C-alpha cells in the first residue's frame, strides 16, 4: 500500500490519478499511524513552504517524516521541504538533507513552468516552481532554467526528491512512479 501524505499543501489529486492509472493501491492520510503501515510514502507539494511546514507540525508529522525508514518520495515542494531551509517565507524545513532552497532571480520568468530536459538522460519532465534547490551532494539529475542549473532529482538513503511532477509528466513520469513503487 502506498501512502500519500495529506497536509493541505499537496497536489494529491493528480498523484492519486497517476496511481489509479497504474492500478497501485494507495491511501491518502494525515495520520502517522495509518501512514506507518504503508510500504512507500509519497509527499506531494504545491504551495508555500511556511504554510506546509505549519501544517506538518499541526499534524505531528515533522519528526515522523524525519525518522521514516521506508522508501519516501518528495515531489516539488515535497522535495524542497526535505532540505534545511527555504527562502520562501524564511522557513526552517525538515533538515533531512543539508542545503537551502532559493528563489529564482527576478530576471527569469517565474514560475519555471512547463516541460524541461533533465540530465544525464536528456528526458523531458513537467515543472512548476518558483523556488529551487541548487546542485549539491544529493543531486542525481539536474535541469537548467535560464542561467540556473538546479537539482531535478535528489537522493539520500531512503529519501528521493523530484523537483518536477512525475504524475504530470506522461509515460516517463509514470515509469518513474512505477520504478519507485516497485523498487523503492
Q: Which residues carry out catalysis?
A: 76, 165, 167
Q: Distance between CA 112 and CA 22 in Å, rounded?
A: 28
Q: What is the three-class DSSP state of 162?
A: strand
Smallest Cα–Cα separation from 88: which of 45, 117, 118, 122? Answer: 45
Main-chain phi, psi angles of 126, to 5 degrees: -95, 125
Q: What is the three-class DSSP state of 122?
A: coil
Burial 71-104, CB ≥16 within 10 A → b, else e: bbbbbbbbbbbbbebbebeebebbebbebebbeb
Amino acid at each position: 500500500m502506498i501512502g500519500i501524505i495529506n497536509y493541505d499543501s499537496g497536489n494529491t489529486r493528480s498523484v492519486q490519478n497517476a496511481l489509479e492509472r497504474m492500478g497501485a493501491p494507495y491511501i491518502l492520510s494525515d495520520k502517522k499511524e495509518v501512514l506507518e503501515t504503508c510500504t512507500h510514502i509519497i509527499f506531494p507539494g504545491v504551495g508555500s513552504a511556511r504554510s506546509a511546514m505549519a501544517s506538518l507540525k499541526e499534524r505531528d508529522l515533522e519528526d515522523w517524516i524525519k525518522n521514516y525508514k521506508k522508501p519516501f518520495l518528495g515531489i516539488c515542494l515535497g522535495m524542497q521541504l526535505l532540505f534545511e531551509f527555504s527562502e520562501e517565507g524564511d522557513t526552517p524545513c525538515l533538515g533531512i538533507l543539508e542545503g537551502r532552497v532559493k528563489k529564482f532571480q527576478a530576471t527569469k520568468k517565474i514560475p519555471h513552468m512547463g516541460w524541461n530536459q533533465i540530465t544525464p538522460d536528456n528526458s523531458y519532465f513537467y515543472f512548476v516552481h518558483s523556488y529551487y534547490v541548487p546542485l549539491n551532494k544529493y543531486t542525481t539529475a539536474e535541469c537548467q532554467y535560464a542561467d540556473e542549473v538546479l537539482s531535478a532529482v535528489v537522493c539520500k538513503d531512503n529519501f528521493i526528491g523530484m523537483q518536477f511532477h512525475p504524475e504530470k509528466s506522461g509515460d516517463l513520469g509514470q515509469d518513474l512512479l512505477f520504478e519507485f513503487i516497485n523498487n523503492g
